[in-house]
Chains A and B, each alone.
Chain A
Amino acid sequence: MTETTAPSDVSSLLRSLRPVAGAPAVGTMVAAASHGLLGVAVAFLVAGAVDAAVFHGHDAAALVPSLALLAGLAVVRAGAAWASDRFGFAAAAAVRRHLFARLLDHVAAAGPLRPATKPIGERAAVLIEAVAAVEPYWRQWLPSAARVGVVPLAVLVVVAPTDRWAFAILAVSLPMLLWAMILVGKGAEVAHRRQWASLARLGGDLLDKVAGLGDLKRLGASGRAVASVHAAAVTFGRETMSVLRLAFLSALVLEFFATVSIAGIAIAVGFRLMWGDLDFRTGFFVLLLAPEFYAPLRDLGVRRHARIESLTALGSIAEMLAEPEATPSGDRIRPAGAPPALRFEAVRVVHADGRVALDGIDLDIAAGEHVAIVGPSGAGKSTLFALVAGFVEASRGRVLVDGAPLDDLDRDLWRAELVHLPQTPHLFEGWIAENIALDRPPSGGDADVAFEAVLAASGAGDFVARLPAGRDTPLGEHGLGLSGGEAQRLALARAFWGSGSLVLFDEPTAHLDAETERVVGEAIVRLRNGRTALTIAHRLATVAAADRVVVLDHGRIVECGRPGDLAAAGGRWARMLADSGIVTEAEV
């Protein structure tokens, strides 16, 4: 059954999964084949028993030995069925766990900027739905294929010497069945891919729309959103149906051939029995074998669609795994906790859509230095952060950390050195404490003391203490129930809790009122101590506290220097100061 040729990346993924599925995959095939062969033996014994009872006048007592043997075989057969399914489940479970873990690792390696053109819901669909959809390959297809490889052949071998007519019908119908299967299967792959695409789209669409329900309502767009969800849902149903219709059609064709052949065998056997060409025992045995011959083939026809479904899912997994990693990871490990020195050499970054985000960036940042980055929206400030964090790669030039290329560093350990405070922090499902100490929630003793200190330092102490369960208060989406400023203070606490040596701030005091801003501002100075810090600044006070300002525009550094020097030099920064209308010597 190799007429559905899987794309090469799916084939290589499948090959790599073989050792993962391991012995259970072999087990399910062996057990399934045994189950099928035992069916032939059962048919033989049943035919013998009926013949003995009907035509040789044996009563129940005389049948006991063969009936006992039959009962024994039935039990063994049940055992084989049980083993086949258990092994199949185990093989599929091993594969699913393996793929899920691999995808998780990949997601981290590809970095947060990878899903730029796909809603998160579509990526989640690969991790959830696609991983679940690979199961049928191991649990249904493999045992079914094993049965087909053994049982029809065994039936033919048994029937050949006993009944030529039946043998002829079986032998002729076999290629016709396979041919029908291939014919109907042609369109199945395309249909499955379309169905998968509409499934992923529906998943992404639902998550996106649900997340934006409030905005849909505010914009008076609810009616259209309901209509578009309905359209996506109906499309998904229709694509699923078009896949199934093919499956049903192939089942129809297979069943038709099978049923007609069984009927033909029954009639042929009947007439030969009447003419005395055949003894009843053989004739009835052949009649019982006919369904055993076709059942695995019919089953295979159904399972083949399960196989295509699994391969389609594997295709989407392979596609995701084939995404390039955000940046290469080396194996160099730099001493943790030591503030890094950064050096950018003629760095150019081009977005996937061709936009040049940064170009010709040459910059030296000393260990422990605090640099403010300013510039209009879209100037490349965030890209600079992403570059340092290893979320995007320089298409030209390079970034050096303590004199060694960033690419040579162990990526995960380097990222863990960062303290990143974005403008709109993501708050995870869970308690306040879990959201601050993402890696290791505090558990009593010194950790608790340190945790309280972090809360106090970030200015979150007071409002957390006022919450009903304090730091064990669960958070809703986007920290629902918290104001924007409160959410930002939690993120700040997260930054304080981290042990990184390079701080990336995106205007940390933007959401804070004057009083909190003062508290947090002092805390930030403490946090910066002994660390290298890059701050995207929108406000003058933030810039004033920096050792140096870098002015970015259209992806290029237009100015760089000490805040006071630049203000005095009368360049771009001085103009920005003048435009803002609140330049004072004392502040700068």
Chain B
Amino acid sequence: MRDLLRLIGLWRGAAGWLALALVVAVAATLANLALMAVAGWFVTAMAAAGLAGATLNYFTPSALIRAAAIVRTGGRYLDRVIGHEATFRLVAATRTALFARLERIAPAGLDDLRSGEMAARLKGDVDRLEAVHLRLLAPLAVAVLTAVAAVAVIAHYDGGIAVVSAFALAVGGLLLPLVAAGAASRRARETARLSADLRRRVVDDLAGLAALTTTGAFATHRAAREAVFADLVAAERHVAARATAGQVAVGLTSDLLGVAVLALGAASLAAGTLAGPETTLVLLLAQASFEAFAPLPAAFAGAAAMFASLRRIFALWDRDPVVGAPASPRPLPGRFDLVLDHVSFGVGHAGRPILRDFSLDLPEGRHVVVAGPSGIGKSTLVDLLSRVRDPESGEIRLGGVPLPALGLDELRATIVVVPQRPHIFAATIAENLRLAAPRASDDELWGVLETVALKDAVERMPAGLATFAGSDGVSLSGGEARRLAVARALLRRPRILILDEPTEGLDDDAARRVTDAIETLMRDRTLIVVSHRSGEPNSRALEVVLSPRGV
């Protein structure tokens, strides 16, 4: 419930539109009641007048019938258009806000989540928020207001029938669907979890399809996905059955209320407390008011899943960024000397100490290779230098200014990192490059591609720069994808460039050419190359070797 209030708080900007949709919806539903009630009264009164040979003012009721018909039709349309329009805008805004939030937390704060899981929350869970207004809050408000109005009118004619109607509406319209939904709530929450699970697993399997088919393990994974799917369908069946039970309860109560009103109406007629036309009016009014309750059972049954989605969204939303931005950032220093001053960092997979009391002096323009066996903390060092994480003790300074005192955007424009596994976006080669420099000309793009020895390969591609680079670079080989990422980083013209294993997957010849070109381009600027190989044969740079005992 707290999550719901929080969401309403986020959405309060559109409260006016949602309230307007609600008012229109109530008007339309009341017009529907009026149409049925007046028509029933009218027909009966006309028949009575005919029998008695009397005349009747038929102008007012027939005008009322026409007016009600118009309000009902137009009102339903307007309610739907306004309510949906406002909702979709809110949902889109919520999706963007959640993504922007993730951007601030990423990457260190999202370490434990797979991207399929985050995408599932951004897509499936956020989609479910549509129901908050459209299927739950608005129909509930309309139903309750309609019922109150109908019962008030009925009470005007016959107190007994009003009491019975109110009871039937409360029990059959609200209580039974709520009970049915309550019985389904656990499984409804399960559907939210299972569908996210399914999406994440399917994405995982698609990404690892080569490994699955060549190990012959596809059948095992396929069976597991089918099992999740079957679980999901079973949970949905359980929830749908409760929702249907609620709907059937509404329909049945409505029919039975008709029987009860007929019996009570006949008694009142016989007692002379109720006129014939009024009996018809009350009967049709009571039954028509049930129409407003028809959408509630499904909404109640789905509410638990919606709440579960809300919880999953806010759980992601509330994560804290691992590194904070300074309140008042200091300006970038004039020089870009890097100093690591007794830096320690110790959270690895096993809580193993990774860096201990590590110091290093890198004057601007220095080129170094950081080498050491795998798992020694090279990637952690890269994370610390680019403030993906902050050291547990010690300090890193850029031109004498501690890194945390600099604005994050300025810092990222100064120190640019190509990680070990760069992500190639599902876009063209040019679009991938222009992520780093939106206004770069084609000539500039070809220039950096030449630096990383990709120019020939891209020229050979039929669409050149407009070739689709594929998800995770499917249409590029491993080495090409890595060098595309290096090219992307070079476009940022960084003062300090950090490359994590840049020539991995390249043959020695190509590796040396790329290293040469980058070193030439980065002349006078700092270059840090991380390599698992000590004695990188291709580089003219200084070498820093990390070993279990320190530098």
Q: Which of A256, A374, A426 has the most CB of B within 10 A?
A: A426
Q: How large is the interface on A (under 10, 10 to 19, 20 to 34, 35 or more residues)?
A: 35 or more
Q: Does B363 contact A (CB under 8 A)?
A: no
Partner of B460, one of A241, A355, A415, A438: A355
- A467 proximal to B (CB < 8 A): yes
Once the chains are docked, how many angstroms separate the CA of A96 from the CA of B228?
13
Interface 9-residue window, one of A12-20, A85-93, A358-366: A85-93
Contact call A514/B419, Cβ cutoff below 8 A: no
Q: Do B373 and A466 touch (CB < 8 A)?
A: no
Chain A: minimal CB distance from B117 (Å): 9
In-complex Cβ contact of A478 among B222, B421, B435, B438 (8 A): B421
Q: A481 and B468: CB pair below 8 A?
A: no
Interface contact A214-B388, CB-CB below 8 Å: yes
With contact pairs A74-B259, A244-B80, A416-B216 given, residues A53 and B65 touching in the complex (Cβ less than 8 Å): no
- Residues from chain B with a CB closer than 8 A to the CB of A57 are 269-270
A382 x B477 contact (CB < 8 A):
yes
Contacts of B468 in A (CB 8 A): 116-117
Indicate if the CB atoms of B85 and A241 lie closer than 8 Å: yes
Note all chain B residues with C-beta closer than 8 A to A245.
Answer: 81
The answer to whether B43 touches A59 (Cβ under 8 A) is no
Q: Which residues of A contact B113 (CB under 8 A)?
A: 476-477
Contacts of B233 in A (CB 8 A): 93, 96-97
- The residue of chain A having its C-beta at the shortest distance from the C-beta of B42 within the complex is A270
Set of chain B residues within 8 Å of A514, measured between Cβ atoms: 373, 533-534
> Which stretch from A3-11, A98-106, A168-176, A396-404 is at the chain B interface?
A98-106
**Interface positions of A from 75 to 90, Cβ below 8 Å from B:** 75, 77-78, 81-82, 85-86, 89-90
| B114 at the A interface (CB under 8 A) | yes
- Judge whether A237 and B220 touch: CB under 8 Å: no
Distance of A60 from chain B, by nearest CB (Å):
4
Residues of A within 8 A of B76 (CB): 251-252, 255
B277 (CB) vs chain A CBs: closest residue: A54
B248 touches A511 (CB 8 A): no
Flag whether B209 is at the interface (Cβ < 8 A). yes
Q: Looking across the interface, which residue of chain B has its beta carbon closest to that of A240? A: B88
Per the bound structure, the CA–CA distance linking A104 and B379 in Å amounts to 37
Min Cβ gap B268→A in Å is 9
A313 to B23, CA, bound (A): 35
| Minimum CB–CB distance for B397 against chain A, Å | 21
* Nearest A residue to B77, CB-CB: A252
B95 touches A229 (CB 8 A): yes
CB atoms of B276 and A415 under 8 A apart: no
Contact check: which of B95, B477, B492 meets A233 at CB < 8 Å?
A: B95
Q: Which of B65, B124, B229, B379 contacts A266 (CB 8 A)?
A: B65
Question: Given that A54-B280, A213-B110 are known contacts, is A423 also in contact with B505, CB under 8 Å in the complex?
Answer: yes
Report if A53-B262 is in contact (Cβ < 8 Å); known contacts: A119-B471, A426-B210. Answer: yes
Q: Given A49-B262, A244-B84, A429-B200, decide whether A210 and B270 contact each other with a Cβ distance below 8 A.
A: no
Least CB separation from B458: chain A residue:
A378
**Residues of B contacting A271 with CB < 8 Å?**
46, 58
Inter-chain contact B276/A473, CB cutoff 8 Å: no
Query: Quick one: which of B389-437 are within 8 Å of A by CB?
Result: 409, 412-413, 416-423, 425-426, 435-436
Among B251, B255, B492, B537, the one with the most A-chain Cβ atoms within 10 Å of its Cβ is: B255
B427 nearest in chain A by CB position: A208
Could you tell me the distance in whole angstroms from the C-beta of A242 to the nearest C-beta in chain B? 10
Q: Determine if A219 and B435 form an interchain contact, defined as CB atoms under 8 angstroms apart.
A: yes
A residues 445-489 with Cβ under 8 Å of B? 463, 466-468, 473, 476-478, 480-486
CB neighbours (8 Å) of B72 from chain A are 255, 259
Alpha-carbon distance A17/B489, docked complex (angstroms) = 51
Q: Does B337 contact A (CB under 8 A)?
A: no
Does A37 lie at the interface of the complex (its beta carbon under 8 Å from any beta carbon of B)? no
Complex Cα distance A277/B467, Å?
A: 79
- Enumerate chain B residues within 8 angstroms of A500, measured Cβ to Cβ: 214-216
A510 in the interface (beta carbon within 8 A): yes
Can you list, as one digit per residue, whether each of A234-246 has a CB less than 8 Å from chain B (1) or not (0)? Answer: 1011101100110
Q: Which of A54, A202, A515 is close to B279, meaning CB atoms less than 8 Å apart?
A: A54
Per-position contact with A for B24-44: 1 when CB-CB < 8 Å, else 0? 000000000001100110111
Q: Mark A371-398, 1 if CB is under 8 A from B, else 0.
A: 0001011100110000001010000000
Residue on B nearest A94 in the bound complex, by CB: B233
- Output the nearest chain B residue to A247 by Cβ-Cβ distance: B80
B256 contacts A74, C-beta separation under 8 Å: yes
* A-side contacts of B8, CB under 8 Å: none
Q: Does A42 contact B (CB under 8 A)?
A: yes
B198's nearest neighbour on chain A, judged by CB, is A128
Query: When the two chains form their complex, are residues B507 and A374 in contact, meaning their CB atoms are under 8 A apart?
Result: yes
Could you say which of B203, B267, B419, B474 contacts A60, with CB atoms under 8 Å apart?
B267
B358 within 8 A of partner (CB): no
A252-272 CB contact bits vs B (8 Å, 1 = yes)?
A: 100110011011001101110
Which residues does chain A contribute within 8 Å of B102, judged by CB atoms? 210, 213
- Cα separation A419 to B210 with both chains bound (whole Å): 11
B435 touches A262 (CB 8 A): no
Chain B 192-216, CB-CB to A under 8 Å as 1, else 0, gives 0001001111111111111111111
Q: How far is the CA of A131 from the CA of B533 in the complex (A)?
A: 48
Complex formed: what's the CA distance from A273 to B477 in Å?
84
> Are A511 and B478 CB-contacts (below 8 A) given A74-B252, A208-B426?
no
Distance of A86 Cα from B485 Cα, bound (Å): 53
Does residue B245 face the partner (Cβ distance < 8 Å to A)? yes
Are B69 and A262 within 8 A (Cβ)? yes
Do A389 and B210 contact each other (CB < 8 Å), given the known contacts A127-B202, A262-B39, A424-B478? yes
In-complex Cβ contact of B213 among A50, A108, A255, A270 (8 A): A108
Contact at A220–B199, with CB atoms within 8 Å? no
On whether the beta carbons of B211 and A270 are closer than 8 Å, the reply is no
The answer for the CA separation of A453 and B199 in the assembled complex, in Å, is 35
Which residue, B213, B220, B233, B504, has most C-beta atoms of chain A within 10 A? B213
Quote the shortest CB–CB distance from B400 to chain A (angstroms): 24
Is A564 located at the chain interface by the 8 A CB criterion? no
* B363-391, CB < 8 A from A: 372-375, 378-379, 386, 388
Q: Which of A153-161, A186-194, A576-584 is near enough to bind chain B?
A: A576-584
In the assembled complex, 22 residue pairs joining A and B whose CB atoms fall closer than 8 Å, in A order, are: A49-B266, A53-B262, A53-B265, A67-B262, A73-B255, A77-B255, A96-B229, A104-B225, A128-B124, A204-B426, A208-B426, A219-B488, A226-B103, A241-B84, A269-B46, A274-B49, A353-B475, A415-B214, A429-B201, A466-B350, A476-B113, A510-B505
New A-B contacts (9) at CB < 8 Å, excluding given A97-B230, A208-B471, A412-B216: A74-B258, A221-B435, A230-B95, A273-B43, A389-B210, A389-B213, A423-B504, A476-B114, A514-B533
Which 3 interchain pairs have the tightest Cβ spacing? A485-B374, A416-B216, A74-B255
